[in-house]
Chains A and B, each alone.
Chain A
Amino acid sequence: MSDVHLRIDGKDVRASEGMTVLDAARGAHISIPTLCQHERLEPYGGCRICIVEAEARGQNKLVASCVHPVEADLNVRTRSDRVDRIRKTVLELLLARAPDSPQLVDLAAQYGADRDRFEKDPSFCIHCGLCVRYCNEIKKLNAVGFVDRGIRKEISFIPEIASKECNNCKECFPLCPTSYLQAAFVLLEALAFPSASPRPASGKTVA
């Protein structure tokens, strides 16, 4: 793999081709916050908290550093007014879902995010997909998956698999950025009511 030279926060950084901007930054001890990223899992790009400004060929745009590949002469800024403003809004949106998540509360303090900015809709889950992806990619058990889409998207355990596997595993729980309340709940739900079907996709109920 050939080397790629780029700049992050004014620092010259050497990375290898195929790395993400996040990898390169971490290699240079520059920290970027993440919520849905995990070193053992495929990059996902869902939470968008890791966005940074990236300038290449005269174009400056915001990219999610966890999925954006490094390229030669890329000029990255991990903090700026724009980046901070968007991170703050993203945090405020997530806090409406999981107001007491320690990880979110910490980040909120850092970015001045207001926990009560938006109308609350606590679901505890912020759809980072860590449990789902870990179970699929690492454990290869597929005991937990997503159902539905958009604002009705939820995690859901497959009762047949969960009853056999989950009790001894629960490795996905500590990955959860919102203290796995929702995971514990839906796991219990799947075990207690194995024949209930996940909610149908159709319908038009915008909260």
Chain B
Amino acid sequence: MDIERIDWIIDEHQCEASSLIQVLLEIQSENHWLPREALERVSERLQVPMSRIRHIATFYKAFSLVPKGRHEVHVCMGTACHVRGSDRILDTVKDLTGITPGETDMDLKFSLETVNCLGCCALGPVMVVDGKTHGRLSSADAKDVMKGYE
């Protein structure tokens, strides 16, 4: 991500230190992760110490300090999905990708995350791949869904 773009985002937020989280969210959503250079630029421009930026970038779940895979898989572990068997969906996805939540596989194909509730409880158990919702899944369905991504 180039510095001009980061500066543009910072300027959009009037260079206010209180907008730190908003700035990082925008970088995250455009770049899918927060490279070190970006954090350093933000620290310099917003006059926020790097220690706080690192705390924020690791405290909030939306941020990643490592590159993400091509496909972002989110398995909902909300209560409604849990009582409808989301653990088994997660196990299936873990088996298929060989990674655990928070990880990205070596080929940068999949990143796996769990989410606490997507608010589509009627469709539980639910899994979202690249923004597309797959609902009312069984383990076998989850396997089929995952096979559809290259």
Contacts and interface: CB of A to CB of B under 8 A. Distances in A.
B147 interface: no
A203 B58 contact: no
Interface string A155-180: 01010110000000000000000000
B24 to A, nearest CB: 12
Interface string A44-77: 0000000000000000000000000000000000
Contact of A201 (B36, B50, B59, B114): B59
Contacts of A132: 51
A204 interface: yes
A205 B99 CA distance: 12
B58 A198 contact: yes
A140 B68 CA distance: 35
Contact of B60 (A143, A160, A201): A201
B92 to A, nearest CB: 16
The number of chain B residues touching the other chain, given as a range, is 20 to 34
Contacts of B101: 202-205
A199 interface: yes
A148, A149, A197: residue with the most chain B Cβ atoms closer than 10 Å:
A197
Interface in B8-61: 36, 49-52, 54-55, 57-61
A205 B49 CA distance: 29
Contact of B51 (A144, A201, A204): A144
Given A197-B36, A201-B59, A158 B51 contact: yes
Contacts of A136: 49, 51
Interface string B58-73: 1111011110000000
A123 interface: no
A145 B36 CA distance: 16
A10 interface: no
Nearest to A143: B51
A142 interface: yes
B7 interface: no
B58 A200 contact: yes
A125 to B, nearest CB: 15
Contacts of A143: 51
17 contacts: A142-B49, A145-B49, A145-B51, A145-B52, A146-B55, A158-B49, A160-B50, A161-B50, A197-B36, A197-B65, A197-B66, A200-B65, A202-B102, A203-B100, A204-B114, A205-B100, A205-B101
3 tightest Cβ-Cβ pairs between the two chains A and B? A203-B102, A145-B51, A142-B49
Interface of B: 36, 49-52, 54-55, 57-61, 63-66, 77, 100-103, 113-114
